Structure 1
Amino acid sequence: MPSTFTSHAAGLAEQLLTELEAAGPLTARGHRVTMAGVRAALVAHLSPASPRYGDPGVLDTALRWTAELAALADEAGLFSSDGNISSPPDSSFSLNDLGSALTLLEQADPAEPRLAQLRERLTAVASAALPALVAGAVHTPNHRWEIASALARLQHLHPAARERAEEWLAEGVDVDADGIYSERSPNYAAYVSNPCLLTLADLLGRPELAAVVHRNLHAVLALTDDDGLVETVLSRRQDQHAGFPVNAFSLQLRRFALLDGCPTCAAAAARREWWTAMPVQGVEALAEALLDPRLDRDVPPGDVVPAPQGRRVFGSAGLVVERRGSVRTVVYGGSDVPALGRVCSGAAVNPTFLRLRAGAAVLRSVRLSRTFFGLGPFRGTLVDPGDEDALVLRESVAAGYSQPLPASARRADGVYELGFEGRYAAAMSFPERARDELRLETEVQVEHTADGLRLGWSITGAAAPWALELCFDPGGELAGVEPLDPTGGHLLAEGWGSYRCGGDVIEFGPGRPAEPGVPVGYSPGEAYTFLGGTDALPGPRVYVVGRAPGRWHLDLRPRPA
């Protein structure tokens, strides 16, 4: 009898297969979906837990989709997706699934003609792609492990595949002492880096790679909140603006629970609400159970492990997570914008620097917006956090005005070099000009008090307006604040406000009256607005406003029921 989890996985796999069968030809959905369908059909035929176990008809489906997959390959044998043309890393996602399918076929009944035909066709697709894959290059850090994993799976088909995989690995895995990858993204850890490094550990005999994944999983659990969402404010990828479900790590947690006996991973893997809900991971779970029957077991349920109390510092990411009872605080000072001088893809740019949770009452984001040359909100750097000390974030930004060109740099035709000044571009020969600079120095301090948190901030330099934004989760009730607009904005003009969700409350104050000429609201900065974009948050928001220079504070009092 399959385990309860394997039966759950079989239901997910059947869900995927049913959806894809109803979709008609899969070519319009791209190579990754097409290859996922091939593997899902094969696994359904091979797994005793599947309702299609032994069904020859599902192999006919796999063969049809394999023909569609082959038709999507270009003359180099590679695939294209999302604008990435003839892409080695994008192709590797499908080739990893293909390599997994070939491994399953090696253990399947050689007398079944459809299985033999499927093996032949998949081998042809892989063989066509391997020369380009062996020579191919990447875009992002995780692509190295995706390509290396595909090469390791297919090493029996190309003499240089293993050597190339080891060449990528020779760069060293981009993980810090806390177990966080350089992209800081739970999405890419769950779906790329962790599964690929585990494959490489198994196929190349590199147990230290599995140890990296294990360390990452412990970091992920430390970053997971009471709703099962992994903290993403530190991420350098697309997931930095939304929570990420911890159940995406379900299969990896099960592996270390069942094969290594890790009690931390076991406590997480046993939680039914944290089991994977993704159909494609259901296919993966069935494939893993076929290749290693030790994984076709349930993790024994144990006592629910309480969330760890105290402070956890993720130093290189500039993140501190602290829990006191049912109150959870996240302080973040790891933005890449101060170092890069710009907002861009692949950088940590989220300006949220504080979160606070008291049971069901969730202050999802605190941001400090400034009206200062369109440079955007405060993105501070965490300064030497201790075990119990107040947490300090600092930022220095500057803008200025350009003086006339010196006589030696003037041109009679008035045509000057186009350049980027640091904030905007113009044909002004900026390097030749002296600059009058204005600076804004901001320090934010978060410290625990007897009844909650004190958030203090000081701004020196230019007389810039500022707005502190508190953004709460939808579903609760605000009190003591003045509505500003129908989009959820409010002003705390005096006294204390509160946010209540059920019996849980977060109180905040004191407020400040709005001053003439001080905008009440959030400004994302020119990096967004000149494109008509924004990173503003939806939902109920409260503002406290003022004008620099000066020093201010706001107390936050969590009151869980």
Structure 2
Amino acid sequence: MLYPISIILKMRKDKAFMTHLTLANVLHALARDIEWDMQRQVMDENSPLYGTYIPLDSGLDDISHGGGTRFLASCGLLVVARQTHPDMAPATPATDTLLHRMSIMADYMLKAQRPSGLMDLRSTNYDSPPDTGFVVQLLCALVELGRGEPLLADVLAKVETFIRRAAPGMMTGGFHTPNHRWVIAGALAQTGTLFPDIDVRDAVQAYIAEGFDIDAEGTYLERSVGVYDAVTNRSLLLFADNWHDAGDIARAHTAVTENLTFNLHLLHADATAETGLSRRQDYGIRSVPVPLIATFLHSNAISPNPQFVRAAQWLWEKASSDEVSNLAWQTYTLLKFGEPAPSSASLPDHFIKHYPINAVWRVRRDQLSATVFGDVTRLMTLVYGAAELNSLKISQTYFGVGWFIGDSMRADGDTAVLRSEGQQKAHRPGYELPTGKPAPRDQWDAINAQRDWNPLPPALSELAITATETGFDLHYHTLDGLDQVAAQIALDFPAGGLWETEDTACTTQPGQVIFLKHGTGQMRFGNDVIEIGPGANAHMYQQMRHAEPPVPGMCRVLLTFVTPVDHRFFLRVFSGLQP
């Protein structure tokens, strides 16, 4: 049965089916996703695209792990669940329908597979070993659980053909990013277990010999709590499940445990994640990191950890229906290891932690969740219930090197101090001097780098941030640099909040700039408030030269100065009409 799209959209918005993290609820959510995906499969037998999956965002045939392979694996896992857990699996879509859809999808995948055995990620990577690795991980997971099920025998034979063709290309083709190494290693380890005649050992060992990119604080190189931490953790767990060396297995498990523990300390009170550390596309995006659910469950199955079980349950409970999708890995994990007993373990919600390797200082006090960053211009974020400060930035109009960047961070108890040296570019602040000899235009950059120059004092400054019971006290003061330089503190909030001062109130709009000239102001989001003060008024630059503009969808509150600056201000949080 195919539901009309209006009904499917309604079901996707219906949160009731997702209340608890159980196999039954995951399977029902998976079935709803499959119903949706069926409408994106080409069913015209006369079309050269017959059987493939067409995503909404591209209109191109897509056999990747986010498209056709995900659809095929999801259908197959639902069929497996009906055989192993008939009391939990939904009855629709019909099994015959699922098997037919899988078969024609597998046919198209074999047709789209390149001579190398690899496939294309149409949005960026072609003839791609790592993206084939993502695909093979899912296909191997299906083969692992589906072997021996007569209903799946024909489809799994096609899947096996795809995997066998893909293995040589994955072993020799290479990668782009840090996580790609573990995707390929995990996929090859799975392949070697399922098909022992394919010798993957040397290829896997070449990757593992590089060592896992986990640091002493629990972050991977990409620091991507919203996307790639889950990819790396899953890949290392799949590798460990299918490898022979006890030392390698133990190191993989340790890396996963340390990363998942670190990520628990990046979660806000609503289970969304602080992504300001990320070096990937989830940077600055506030959402519930649903992909971590499967890795929390998988890690717990290897080494029982009630806190990880509770984290998985909590992420599921807090995620919106739009965030709960791509459920193949959650389904695989629950089918393979079983449903863990509900956990009441406490999660980190009251702490102050300094992570010097990653230049980050985290504060959680129940609903309050704040982060201070070094090495970037986005110095601080703050979340309190529905209220959010997206960024605090400081800058001066000073030779293009007036951005405040925390070149160093020190922390002591409730206080963190960022120090900006003001020396981001060569020969700035200052002026180059003439060489007294020809300077050909095609050698301008090389000659400029060698010039003598007249230096001026850098925009050396510090920002101290102290956690209090009701928010934060901040102190910004300049330590060097010329006087009479325009400076600002910019506080960016999601537009749509209610801004209120003693004599003004307005609903904020995207791109709006508000000057807090004196006194205090409150940014209200429903019942939750972030209060700022006192203001400062030295100039009226709305878009000060060299200052970074707010990102789309934000409004900005400005405190303005001319140097030297020595300003103390606060951020207070409360709920209701007044503190």
Q: TM-score with structure 2 length normalisation?
A: 0.81
Aligned 1:257-336 pairs, distance under 5 A: 257=300, 260-271=303-314, 272-274=316-318, 281-290=326-335, 292=336, 294-295=337-338, 297-302=339-344, 305=346, 307-324=348-365, 326-335=367-376
Structure 1 residues 280 and 92, CA gap change in structure 2 (3 angstroms)? farther
Q: Tell me what 2:541 maps to.
A: 519
1:48-447 equivalences in 2 (<5 Å):
48=82, 49-51=89-91, 55-81=95-121, 82-109=123-150, 112=151, 115-155=152-192, 156=195, 159-205=198-244, 206-257=249-300, 260-271=303-314, 272-274=316-318, 281-290=326-335, 292=336, 294-295=337-338, 297-302=339-344, 305=346, 307-324=348-365, 326-335=367-376, 351-375=377-401, 377-397=403-423, 398=425, 399=428, 400-407=430-437, 410=438, 414-417=440-443, 419=445, 429-438=447-456, 439-447=458-466
Q: Aligned partners of 2:352, 2:104: CA distance in 1, in Å? A: 54
Residues 442 and 457 in structure 1, CA contact (< 8 A), matched pair in contact too: yes
| 1:122–1:502 distance in 2 versus 1, CA, 3 Å | closer
1:540 aligns with 2:555: yes
Q: Which amino acid aligns with 1:100?
A: A
Deviation by residue 1:28-70 (Cα, 9 ceiling, x = unmatched): 2422111112212222222122425982332221111011112
Match of 1:496 among 505, 520, 529: 520
Q: For residues 244 and 174 of structure 1, do their structure 2 counterparts lie closer, same or farther at Cα, with a shift above 3 Å needed?
A: farther
CA distance in 1, matches of 2:198, 2:68: 27
Q: Does 1:30 align with 2:67?
A: no
Divergent runs of 4+, >6 A = 481-486
Aligned-partner SS, 2:176: coil
Listed one character per residue, the Cα deviations across residues 65-101 of structure 1 (whole Å, up to 9, x for unaligned) are: 0111122222212122223221211221112112222
Q: CA RMSD in A?
A: 2.9
Separation in structure 1 between the aligned mates of residue 476 and residue 332 of structure 2, nearest angstrom: 53
Partner amino acid, structure 1, of 2:432: S
Report deviation, 1:123.
Answer: 2.2
Q: Distance in 2 between matches of 1:39 and 1:507?
A: 49
* Aligned-residue identity in percent: 23
**2:472–2:571 Cα contact (<8 Å) kept:** yes
Secondary structure at the counterpart of residue 382 of structure 2: strand
Q: Secondary structure at the match of 2:364?
A: strand
C-alpha contact 2:224 2:282 (8 A) present in aligned 1: yes
The residue that corresponds to 1:20 in the other structure is: 37
Distance 1:6-1:276 versus aligned 2 partners, 3 A rule: farther
> Which stretch has the larger CA shift, 482-491 or 380-389?
482-491
- Once residues 262 and 545 of structure 2 are traced to their aligned partners in structure 1, the CA distance between those partners, rounded to angstroms, is 33
Q: Structure 1 residues 162, 15: CA separation in 2 closer, same or farther (over 3 Å shift)? A: farther
Please state whether the residue corresponding to 2:174 is helix, strand or coil: coil
Could you tell me whether the CA contact under 8 Å between 1:494 and 1:513 is conserved in 2?
A: yes
Structure 1 residues 402 and 523, CA, compared in 2 at 3 Å: closer, same or farther? closer
SS in 2 for 1:270: helix
Deviation at 1:103, TM superposition (A): 1.9
Query: In 2, distance between residues paired with 1:138 and 1:286?
Result: 28
Per-residue deviation at 1:186?
0.8
Corresponding residue for 2:10?
A: none
Q: Residue 256 of structure 1: CA displacement?
A: 4.0
Shift of 1:318: 0.9
Q: What amino acid maps onto 1:479 in structure 2?
A: E
Question: Mind listing any 5+ residue stretches in structure 1 that lack a counterpart?
Answer: 336-350, 420-427, 529-533
8 Å CA contact 2:226–2:282 kept in 1: the answer is: yes
Unaligned runs of 5+ in 2: 1-19, 43-51, 55-59, 83-88
Q: CA deviation at 1:126?
A: 2.0
Q: Give distance in 2, aligned partners of 1:199 and 1:361.
A: 39
Q: Cα distance, 1:280 vs. partner?
A: 5.2
Query: Could you tell me which amino acid in structure 2 is paired with residue 180 of structure 1?
Result: T
Mark the CA change 1:14 to 1:190 in structure 2 (over 3 Å): closer, same or farther: farther
1:379-438 deviations in whole A, cap 9, x for unaligned? 21342323334433333224243322343xx27xx453253xxxxxxxx63234223344
The CA deviation string for residues 109-160 of structure 1, in whole angstroms up to 9 with x for no partner, is: 3xx5xx3332332222222222221112111111111111111111236644
- Deviations along 1:352-379, whole A, 9 cap, x unmatched? 2112344443323211133233457322
Alpha-carbon distance in structure 1 between the residues aligned to 2:306 and 2:493: 35
Matched-pair contact (CA < 8 Å) for 1:224–1:246: no
Q: Residue 554 in 1 paired to residue 564 in 2? A: no
Question: Can you list the C-alpha shifts for 1:273-318, whole angstroms capped at 9, x where unaligned?
Answer: 146955654222333333x2x42x2532537x36432311222111
Structure 2 partner of 1:531: none
Contact 1:40 1:283 (8 Å CA) reproduced: yes
